[in-house]
Structure 1
Amino acid sequence: MEKASADEAIALAVIPCHPAAMSVVPPKSYHAYPDRHIDCQEALEDEIKAPIARAQAAGWTLDDIARAVGDLLWAQMIRATERARRYLSRWFA
């Protein structure tokens, strides 16, 4: 069995495979390219408006929402990093 590179291992651990993610426009390339993050912002912009509006309608301020979303994203990154470490430890131990 061929060993995966570190980049491939991280991509496997981070790229979501949930069907709901498929409604978002994919990147132009799965490799790094200039302005990739801007393309991602544009792809997510419409998707994120509805949950923000629902949270505001429930009484949360935009500051509350921004802090909560930031914390959720940070936690997601930590989980993805831990998955990548576990995967890599099997291949590169």
Structure 2
Amino acid sequence: MNHIVSIIIPCKEIDPFTIECIKRCKELDYENFEIIVLPDHESLPIQRIKIIPTGEVSPGRKRNLGIAYSDGKYLAFIDNDAYPRKDWLKNGNG
């Protein structure tokens, strides 16, 4: 059984880079995951994505807030301008 993984994406705003990162995360070949996006300010909802506005805090603080809101047994961190390979979670590599 695959354990749930929380993918945590800190960002300033949900811009085209962030949208592409989310899209690629949704296409991963691992089924049991959640995506948590932490922009500075409120954003329009995105289906099946937790969006947690954080205010203007450091990326490290955003990651810690993402952990607090996660339901996963494991954590995976990715920057909003990085695009994971499809096997990123399955094989544990970038």
Higher relative contact order (CA 8 A, sep 6+): 1
Structure ID, larger Rg: 1
Write 1 or 2 for the structure with the bigger share of helix. Answer: 1
TM-score (norm 2): 0.31
Write 1 or 2 for the structure with the bigger share of strand. Answer: 2
